[in-house]
Homo-oligomer: A and B are copies of this chain.
């Protein structure tokens, strides 16, 4: 069994880098706080006798040797980066529980058959550098290294330049083939309301829903808000507003699907000049690839209809000027991640471990959020453990899981790891 109080105090220690006055975290990937917590993590693992590798995407592998070090380590990974106004649990629970498992093995002088690796995956959130799960994605072959390195934040800093800046551009090749694992286990907070609703601590995650992200840019005309007749406008923000509402309706019309717009930028930022350029992103998710494909078609159709209406209106009025209405300059899918089904054997080991820790009090579930395990699952047997979180609130400073739920999850992780090691 893990040591609850040590896990709790380790939590406090690690969250000193990037915590915000409202009780949340702002530790965007590769910022200075991420640098410090990474250095701290490496130090903690070295104290347990682990060797540490940093790969070309800054992923940290801290490896505790086993009896047979010629076979790849069994991984336990998640992420230490957070949302800009995030909580203390998303990702952090996964890495710190893995650290606690290593410490528990160490204290009990357990010698595993295979080596065991704790992994901190870079830029899981995708908040600073879209898309999410970028570096587990490179490791798992979903993205090229070049794609990973060239993603950039809103200020134009790239992943590669920020890795260099904070001293985490490692030289270990970032791929399963060059730096393999035997398996990957991850605890994560549920980030949804299902476990709480059924008064359960633990979920056994059998897979992850399908996801697409989009980038949309609309072009219209900067025009004077006070003088331009309503029917002569090419108002991109009005079009974007219609699209956002329509995107919501498309999503409500397809049970099992979800589409959200959370990022919008309009320019120029002047109260009396109609916005001539609007950029926004859509995040779409669905319980099956087929449903996501339907949502994909419906979203594009709905948004193009808004633009066509604007052009129709415009041509009848502005025909002579030849200017046209609002145009969709960019409709780009910036991320596609099909549905993931985790390995049956790895999942059953989590389930057996959960039965041991929680009795019958757990349930199988599918994750609504993406996780690094999605991309490790492309290469190695992977499974996940969910723990209950308050009111399903996540990506929010109010994100909360009870210590006893985290302890339970860490014990399930320990049990699953040892089972996989036995196997």
Among the 9-residue stretches A10-18, A71-79, A107-115, A220-228, the one with 4 or more Cβ atoms under 8 Å from chain B is: A220-228
Interface size class for chain A? Answer: 35 or more
Question: Which of A192, A323, A368, A393 has the largest number of chain B CB atoms within 10 A?
Answer: A393
> For chain A residues 189-204, which have a beta carbon within 8 Å of chain B?
190-193
A15 to B391, CA, bound (A): 58
CB–CB B225/A391 < 8 A: no
Partner of A268, one of B127, B131, B273: B127
Partner of A226, one of B131, B211, B226: B211
Question: Which of A83, A225, A323, A397 has the largest number of chain B CB atoms within 10 A?
Answer: A225
A18 to B86, CA, bound (A): 41
CB–CB B238/A244 < 8 A: yes
CB–CB A222/B85 < 8 A: yes
CB–CB A281/B276 < 8 A: no
Among the 9-residue stretches A40-48, A254-262, A297-305, the one with 4 or more Cβ atoms under 8 Å from chain B is: A254-262
Does A396 count as interface, using CB distance less than 8 angstroms? Answer: yes
Q: Which residues of B lie under 8 Å from residue A9 when comparing CB positions? A: none
> For chain A residues 234-252, which have a beta carbon within 8 Å of chain B?
235, 237-238, 240-242, 244-245, 248, 251-252
- Expressed in whole angstroms, the minimum distance between the Cβ of A354 and any Cβ of chain B is 20
Contact with B along A358-380 (1 / 0, CB 8 A): 00000000011110000000000
Q: Which residues of B lie under 8 Å from residue A260 when comparing CB positions? A: 225, 235, 274
CB–CB B244/A237 < 8 A: yes
Does A178 count as interface, using CB distance less than 8 angstroms? Answer: no
CB–CB A248/B238 < 8 A: yes
Residue of B nearest to A334 (CB): B271
A106 to B125, CA, bound (A): 68
Contact with B along A179-223 (1 / 0, CB 8 A): 000000000001111000000000000000101010000000111
Interface of A (DSSP majority class)? loop
Contact with B along A254-292 (1 / 0, CB 8 A): 000010111111111111111110000101010000000
Residue of B nearest to A396 (CB): B222
Does A232 count as interface, using CB distance less than 8 angstroms? Answer: yes
CB–CB B270/A83 < 8 A: yes
Does A130 count as interface, using CB distance less than 8 angstroms? Answer: yes
A87 to B85, CA, bound (A): 39
Partner of A227, one of B230, B248, B394: B394
CB–CB B258/A223 < 8 A: no
Does A137 count as interface, using CB distance less than 8 angstroms? Answer: no
Does A156 count as interface, using CB distance less than 8 angstroms? Answer: no
Given A213-B271, A242-B245, A270-B127, A262 contacting B225 (CB threshold 8 A): yes
Contact with B along A70-99 (1 / 0, CB 8 A): 000000000000011110000000000000
The 8 closest A-B pairs by CB, nearest first: A241-B244, A227-B368, A225-B260, A127-B270, A192-B227, A84-B268, A273-B395, A241-B241
Can you list 9 contacts pairing A with B, beta carbon distance less than 8 Å? A83-B270, A85-B222, A132-B272, A154-B269, A224-B369, A227-B392, A263-B270, A263-B271, A321-B391
